[in-house]
Amino acid sequence: MTWPNTTPITTANVDSGLDNPALARIQIKEAIENINAVVAEFSNVAITSAANGHIIQYNSIASQWQNRYPIMFGYAETVYTHTTTSGNITVDFENGNVQRIVPTGNLTLAYANFPLVGTVSLFIEQPATPKTVTFPATAKTQFGDTTLSTLGNVVDIIISSTYNTGSTYVVSIVKGFE
């Protein structure tokens, strides 16, 4: 957003004693234009309400203002367990940054609602016959390796991070915890 005027508007023509409303019209018009610029900037914001402690942040990649999570204090993680256990799975940052799935079939991952910079750890508790994961095209793994454990009854951890609101996800796969 470009602010129309960064110079403070004078109140000299509306102070008591020497009021001159005719001369104040220019400053009043300028103040209204500044307010209208702020209203126009936030009129297309898709934020219905910010939770206590959340911040509003401009995302230049998406060209919009977004509700964002606060800076951490008194931080504790909870685990979100996916109820869909095969097929298409969305790793949604709004479900928390620690997620878990016990797959019954092969998985195809998608990512959603990541902040400008963020990381999600997805714990995959492999059954006796291990399942595969297909990553989205935006996921970049070390040396292109996207394979999970070939052993059953182990835990694989997929750590997905972004530094550019999800244009790219850097993915680390830690395999075979018994």
For residue 6, is pLDDT > 90? no
For residue 2, is pLDDT > 60? no
Strand partners, 64: 59
pLDDT band at 4 (very low <50, low <70, confident <90, very high): low
Secondary structure of 122-138 in HEC code, one letter for each residue: EEEECCCCCCCEECCCC
Question: Average pLDDT in the 62-77 region?
Answer: 68
Question: Average pLDDT in the 91-110 region?
Answer: 93
Cα distance between residue 99 and residue 112, in whole Å: 13
13-27, 47-61, 139-153: least confident range: 47-61
Sketch the domain layout of the chain as residue ranges.
Answer: 12-68, 80-177
Question: Average pLDDT in the 14-43 region?
Answer: 75
Tens digits of residue pLDDT in 15-28: 666 677 777 777 78
For residue 169, is pLDDT > 60? yes
